[in-house]
Chain A
């Protein structure tokens, strides 16, 4: 197991290096845009040079990249050009917000998606299956931000109510925090729940066709016992992978919802940094997303290996 983890960690290093270099290089493609973003139009050539020096835009890209990488490894992710604050320090509270939203969404998706997927499989090709699959397709095909926009507009116009827009952290005020977070989490979870539901259904159907399940039926076991004691564990192994990967996707995929629901998460932080051409912040947030995705993948792989040792090989 230890060797497996080390091997996976080593494999993730090239991924992170490639991602970080791409991010670092792409946002430096047009140095003039940085100057314009900082100074508007009326800047002098001297000011432009000053800004370029500040951002290291006058140095060769590889040199700057290696310097930046060295600092990152030492824990110095740079400072925001606007606030002069440490990138990591600024990201800190926002990471928690985004994780909370993604985590709540995944929890809801699992709570909703797994039972429905199992139930749908047990009623294959009967009307409950058709109805539930229709909902799943709806959840997958209609963008969540559109659903959110419509729901909020209707709630505001018809009932004069929307979730609170003033953010309170989970630590400071759990009640107010959840009042704001439950609805975006629910809407974010729709597509994920649909995905989990469909995958759970497919896996369940696959398992239900196995010989040992047929044996269980022939022994006269109840449906509930067959599902919970024999089928579910084996069917859920691949579902865990989907849930894990979904979590990774959600960490970077809640941007639109953070905007719509006024949630001060990492996605909104990234958008502002991109608009302001705040290189250090863009690099930091993007690198964090990359690390989060790699880490979640690693956790999924490890947990999968624990649950099914055959996957180790």
Chain B
């Protein structure tokens, strides 16, 4: 498996080498990174910024050694106060807890990153040609944990129905309710068969179902409504571990289910312990003092232990995308030449080198964390914004000149001191200065949700340096941010970008369940957006995770960085 991951990452990121990082991601298990990419032969003359590593690449941590049972895996993470996967909006509970105690209907494959396989479903669904229904068969061997109220009974289609009904129920106020808006009805055909009827085809539905929050819970618990999952006793899943202790903002403890997990030859570790700690330095102290086996860290701190053979450092992109948001309702930005000039002016490599110490992945309209869908680097290198810096500046100036701004212009750019956005802003300001655009900064302070987001959503800006986080699949990355119907489809198209031709392509790809048929269109859309840019996408930041070398097979998924695969992790004595 080790070779597989090595070659996978070399293939995927052949020109997308992981750079040394600096960003703080004290994510612990929630920030589990992917197995790192190997070094490669890229001499990289392009400007995509993925070619200048100063952190020794570390091979994938997968091993072919025979797993052994036993031990306690201790980790540090941010622990919130809610363990309801359908209601939480943070990863610790959904990834760390429910990733261990629960199952989704379908899931991202650990063997083929980016692809989807059945989890509670025995296989991928049957989908008719019109794409208006998906029929799943539930695994007969799947059993709930031996706890009240289910006491080890089989997972049924009724459980699946009530779980998705609960997510969609307005009374629950699930942040994911909108992801299932295309579902018309959910019908239990028989105890092992369930059918989702669609109002319109939704090619991303399986990816959405695989996402980190959409776990299936017992019907008895789902029927309790909003406050169904409050304590550890309420958190009953079908996964390999049982939640035995939950203290809000303090700790989780999970133990391997005593009745045995229904998926054979998995779940090796006896106990998972997660302690709340968000400070990267304190987390590193705890690792050095052998009080934890896993931490999220920064590139600066990782460098202090990278040569220590007691630890393994893994790295991965997140689906977060940094962006220079452009308000297309402003006259100046209705001219595609001006937008393209801004797009070309952004020095993406500099952003990730400077702000994230190199821990980042330059990219276009789709996150590099979506390896199956993102434009290959060879294609990116031929597109605007990814060439040599001097060429990009020259082209950008020519575009501005053609647009009637031979001497550039002055502009106010909105930003916020949160999630390193203000640092990205500083780089972008210097980039824009290179093409004659003088920036007046408007920083709204430190509260992203209170002061910045409303300005974005309200289109009360001209340009804004910002970041977005959404799933690593085409609708969540492309349609949501670029469709001109900002009420129903492009609900995060806060710059009112879009045109009819692009809309048609976005809608078309959204209906294609066959990935092979869908991919060319998805790639074409990315090229279209780059050539006629909307938001000034830059790429994705990454996460670093440090593992004690005794931890084996800490695999996770290419799509949802941080998605944890506790079934396969084991500890070497």
Measuring CB to CB, which residues of chain A are less than 8 angstroms from any residue of chain B? 29-30, 32-33, 36-44, 46-47, 50-51, 54, 80, 82-85, 90, 149, 152-153, 155-157, 160-162, 164-167, 259-262, 264, 268-269, 272, 276-278
Q: Which of B230, B279, B285, B492 has the most CB of A within 10 A?
A: B285
Whole-angstrom CA separation of A41 from B447 in the bound complex? 14
Which one of A40, A50, A152 contacts B282 once the chains associate, using CB atoms below 8 Å? Answer: A152
Residues of B with C-beta under 8 A to A44: 177-178
Which one of A32, A46, A80, A268 contacts B170 once the chains associate, using CB atoms below 8 Å? Answer: A46
Given A51-B173, A84-B230, A85-B230, 19 further pairs, Cβ under 8 A: A33-B447, A40-B175, A42-B176, A44-B178, A47-B173, A50-B170, A54-B173, A82-B82, A153-B281, A165-B76, A165-B275, A165-B286, A167-B250, A262-B275, A262-B276, A268-B276, A272-B249, A276-B81, A278-B81
A156 in contact with B275 (CB, 8 Å): no
B80 in contact with A272 (CB, 8 Å): yes
Chain B, range 240-260, C-beta contacts under 8 Å to A: 247-251
A40 in contact with B277 (CB, 8 Å): no
A153 in contact with B285 (CB, 8 Å): yes
- Across the two chains, which residue of chain A brings its CB closest to B179? A42
Whether B290 is near chain A, meaning CB under 8 Å from some CB there, is yes
A32 in contact with B454 (CB, 8 Å): yes
Given the contacts A83-B248, A262-B275, A161 and B81 also touching, CB distance less than 8 Å: no
A33 in contact with B450 (CB, 8 Å): yes
Within the complex, what minimum Cβ distance (angstroms) separates B348 from chain A? 23
Whether B288 is near chain A, meaning CB under 8 Å from some CB there, is yes
Whole-angstrom CA separation of A37 from B227 in the bound complex? 19
Given the contacts A152-B282, A262-B277, A36 and B81 also touching, CB distance less than 8 Å: no
Q: Which of A51, A261, A272 has the most CB of B within 10 A?
A: A272
Whether B89 is near chain A, meaning CB under 8 Å from some CB there, is yes
B247 in contact with A165 (CB, 8 Å): no
Which one of A82, A162, A167 contacts B81 once the chains associate, using CB atoms below 8 Å? Answer: A82
A83 in contact with B177 (CB, 8 Å): no
- Across the two chains, which residue of chain B brings its CB closest to A259? B279
- 24 A-B pairs (CB sep. < 8 Å): A32-B450, A33-B451, A37-B449, A38-B89, A38-B175, A42-B176, A47-B170, A47-B173, A47-B177, A83-B248, A85-B230, A90-B248, A149-B281, A153-B281, A157-B288, A160-B290, A161-B289, A165-B286, A165-B291, A261-B282, A262-B275, A262-B286, A272-B81, A278-B81
B275 in contact with A166 (CB, 8 Å): yes
- Across the two chains, which residue of chain A brings its CB closest to B284? A156
Residues of B with C-beta under 8 A to A277: 449
Within the complex, what minimum Cβ distance (angstroms) separates B475 from chain A? 12
Whole-angstrom CA separation of A157 from B492 in the bound complex? 46
Measuring CB to CB, which residues of chain B are less than 8 angstroms from any residue of chain A? 76, 80-82, 89, 170, 173, 175-179, 227, 230, 247-251, 273, 275-279, 281-282, 284-286, 288-292, 447, 449-451, 453-454, 468, 470, 491-492
Which one of B170, B247, B291, B451 contacts A162 once the chains associate, using CB atoms below 8 Å? Answer: B291
Instruction: Kindly list the 9 A-B residue pairs having the minimum CB-CB distance in the complex, ordered from nearest.
Output: A33-B450, A36-B449, A156-B285, A156-B288, A30-B450, A82-B82, A264-B250, A162-B289, A33-B449
Whole-angstrom CA separation of A54 from B172 in the bound complex? 12
A50 in contact with B81 (CB, 8 Å): no
Residues of B with C-beta under 8 A to A165: 76, 275, 277, 286, 291-292
B249 in contact with A40 (CB, 8 Å): no
A164 in contact with B291 (CB, 8 Å): yes
B177 in contact with A36 (CB, 8 Å): no
- Across the two chains, which residue of chain A brings its CB closest to B453? A36
Given the contacts A44-B178, A82-B81, A262-B277, A39 and B248 also touching, CB distance less than 8 Å: no
Whole-angstrom CA separation of A44 from B250 in the bound complex? 32
B173 in contact with A32 (CB, 8 Å): no
Residues of A with C-beta under 8 A to B453: 32-33, 36, 41
Whole-angstrom CA separation of A160 from B289 in the bound complex? 4
Whole-angstrom CA separation of A162 from B82 in the bound complex? 29
Whole-angstrom CA separation of A36 from B89 in the bound complex? 10
- Across the two chains, which residue of chain A brings its CB closest to B177? A47
Residues of B with C-beta under 8 A to A83: 81-82, 230, 248
Given the contacts A43-B175, A83-B230, A276-B80, A156 and B289 also touching, CB distance less than 8 Å: yes
Residues of B with C-beta under 8 A to A42: 175-176, 178-179, 470, 491-492
- Across the two chains, which residue of chain B brings its CB closest to A90? B248
Whole-angstrom CA separation of A36 from B247 in the bound complex? 25
- Across the two chains, which residue of chain A brings its CB closest to B454? A32
- Across the two chains, which residue of chain A brings its CB closest to B90? A276
Whole-angstrom CA separation of A262 from B74 in the bound complex? 14
Residues of A with C-beta under 8 A to B179: 42
Residues of B with C-beta under 8 A to A268: 249, 276
A264 in contact with B276 (CB, 8 Å): yes
Given the contacts A80-B81, A161-B289, A269-B249, A260 and B282 also touching, CB distance less than 8 Å: yes
Whole-angstrom CA separation of A277 from B230 in the bound complex? 18
Whole-angstrom CA separation of A128 from B335 in the bound complex? 76
A82 in contact with B80 (CB, 8 Å): yes
Within the complex, what minimum Cβ distance (angstroms) separates A88 from chain B? 15
A264 in contact with B173 (CB, 8 Å): no
B89 in contact with A40 (CB, 8 Å): yes
Residues of A with C-beta under 8 A to B290: 160
Within the complex, what minimum Cβ distance (angstroms) separates A169 from chain B? 11
Within the complex, what minimum Cβ distance (angstroms) separates A179 from chain B? 12
Whole-angstrom CA separation of A261 from B447 in the bound complex? 26
Residues of A with C-beta under 8 A to B279: 259-260
- Across the two chains, which residue of chain A brings its CB closest to B450? A33
B89 in contact with A30 (CB, 8 Å): no
Residues of A with C-beta under 8 A to B250: 167, 264
Residues of B with C-beta under 8 A to A153: 281, 285
Whole-angstrom CA separation of A272 from B291 in the bound complex? 23
Whole-angstrom CA separation of A216 from B290 in the bound complex? 59
Given the contacts A50-B173, A165-B275, A264-B250, A41 and B492 also touching, CB distance less than 8 Å: yes
Q: Which of B449, B453, B492 has the most CB of A within 10 A?
A: B449
- Across the two chains, which residue of chain B brings its CB closest to A167? B250
